[in-house]
Amino acid sequence: MTAFVDRYGPWAVVAGASEGIGASFSKKLGERGFNLVLVARRVGPLEELASEIGAKHQVEVRVQALDLGAPNVSSELGHATEALDVGLVIYNAAYSPIGAFIEVDVEEHIKAVNVNVLGTLRVAHYFGRRLADRGKGGIIIMSSMSSIQGTAMVANYAATKAYDTILAEGLWRELGQRGVDVLGCIAGATLTPNYEGSTDKIPSSWLARPMKPGDVAEQALHDLGQRPSGVSGGRNRFAAALLARLLPRRAAIEMVSKETEHMYR
Ligand SMILES: NC(=O)c1ccc[n+]([C@@H]2O[C@H](COP(=O)([O-])OP(=O)(O)OC[C@H]3O[C@@H](n4cnc5c(N)ncnc54)[C@H](OP(=O)(O)O)[C@@H]3O)[C@@H](O)[C@H]2O)c1
């Protein structure tokens, strides 16, 4: 625990912090003694979480209301954190419009690119420089099992998540040489408000059974510094090996798409 705070503390920024996996990251970092900057669009849930963590663990918790898909994200985060010794940054927020690609309004797809691609790029670039100059720290970028192959009903979201995984892996190499650990966290279905609001169906395959957000966050914190990217949970790791290494590409796309069509059509 002390080694983790020495390596990645004393301040962490969680981008997309107020609920789901982001809230779990925030609570787990508070528990480890990190001071936190919690970022999301809605101030109410952020402030509630900030007081809960601050009271429980006697750490300093600040909140920053910000749309991570906006072009001014680096300057806003820079302004909010310039006086803080930030050692760990987690880019967790994403937008996932669900439906057949051509049925979803193109503006919704662009919003997903803004949050999942451009937001990730801006935050990783801004803090990548800061952490590299500092000579130590960590960045976790949240990705998804849908980044492994093309996926119907979330075709654009899956493509944005492929960007997230590949960016994290390239930065693992580049920034690793400057003392900064980078991890792409490849989560499968996870019981977050976003996931639970997206469907009322239970996955047809046992391989797609959802995990708890706390378990996803805990494993990612454990994987940071160990590997370029890590799949969350044993079932998802088995599925990822099957999809990425064993099945022909066409079969992998069809297998995953059958599940998303069952869940979302
Ligand atoms: N849940 C799953 O089944 C699943 C599966 C695979 C991968 N993942 C990945 O795990 C990550 C977290 O997923 P999640 O389900 O916990 O929920 P999420 O909807 O991606 O993120 C929720 C958090 O992000 C904030 N947020 C969303 N859009 C934002 C924006 N434009 N600007 C600032 N903050 C924003 C939300 O607060 P506000 O609404 O107040 O902004 C909330 O705090 C994502 O990267 C997702 O791709 C999730």
Fold observed for domain 2-264: Rossmann fold (3.40.50)
Q: Per the structure block, which two tokens stand in for 6?
A: 């020495």
Which residue puts its alpha carbon closest to atom 47 of ligand 1? 94
Residues 6+ apart with CB under 8 A from 176: 182
Q: Which residue has the tokens 């963590």?
A: 53
Given the CA of residue 114, which atom of ligand 1 is nearest to it? 31
Calculate how far, in angstroms, residue 94's C-alpha sits from the geometric centre of ligand 1: 5
Atom 11 (ligand 1) nearest CA: 92
Amino acid, res. 54: G
Predicted pLDDT of residue 80: 97
Residues taking part in catalysis: 157, 161
- 40 CB neighbour count, 10 Å cutoff: 25
pLDDT at 208: 81
Q: Is the dihedral of CA 185, 187, 192, 196 positive or negative?
A: positive
What integer pLDDT is reported at residue 202 of this predicted model? 85
16 alpha carbon – ligand 1 mean position (Å):
6
From the list 213, 187, 190, the residue with the least C-alpha distance to 203 is 190
Closest CA to 10 of 135, 132, 137: 137
Quick check: 59 and 84 in contact, CB under 8 A?
Answer: no
How many whole angstroms from 194 Cα to the centroid of ligand 1?
A: 7
**The residue type at 64:** Q
Q: Among 13, 14, 18, say which to mutate for ligand 1: greatest number of ligand atoms within 8 Å of CB.
A: 18
115 CA closest ligand 1 atom index: 31
**Ligand 1 pocket test, candidate residues 26, 37, 41, 216, most atoms within 8 A of CB:** 41
Residue having the nearest C-alpha atom to atom 7 of ligand 1: 144
- pTM of the shown model: 0.98
Residue of 92, 98, 161, 185 to test ligand 1 pocket, by largest number of atoms within 8 Å of CB: 92
Local confidence pLDDT in tens for the 265 residues of the chain: 789 999 999 999 999 999 999 999 999 999 999 999 999 999 999 999 999 999 999 999 999 999 999 999 999 999 999 999 999 999 999 999 999 999 999 999 999 999 999 999 999 999 999 999 999 999 999 999 999 999 999 999 999 999 999 999 999 999 999 999 999 999 999 999 999 888 888 888 888 889 999 999 999 999 999 999 999 999 999 999 999 999 999 999 999 999 999 999 8
Task: Say how many Å lie between the first and final Cα of the chain, rounded.
Answer: 44
Residue 97 CA to ligand 1 center (angstroms) comes to 12
Instruction: Tell me how far the alpha carbon of residue 45 lies from the centroid of ligand 1, in angstroms.
Output: 13
pLDDT at 201: 86
DSSP assigned state of 212? P
Sign of the C-alpha dihedral computed for residues 192, 194, 197 and 201 taken in this order: negative
3-state secondary structure of 71: coil
Residues facing 82 on adjacent strands:
none
Which residues, at least 6 apart from 46, have a Cβ–Cβ distance to it below 8 Å? 17, 18, 38, 39, 40, 63, 64, 65
Give the C-alpha separation, 261 to 7, whole Å: 43
Nearest to 192 by CA among 2, 1, 23: 23
Alpha-carbon distance of 189 to 215, in angstroms, equals 12
Which residue minimizes the CA distance to atom 23 of ligand 1?
Answer: 16
The response to whether residue 17 sits with its C-beta less than 6 Å from ligand 1 reads yes
CB-ligand 1 contact for 198 (6 Å cutoff): no
Alpha-carbon span 97 to 112, nearest angstrom: 7
Any idea what DSSP says for residue 146?
G
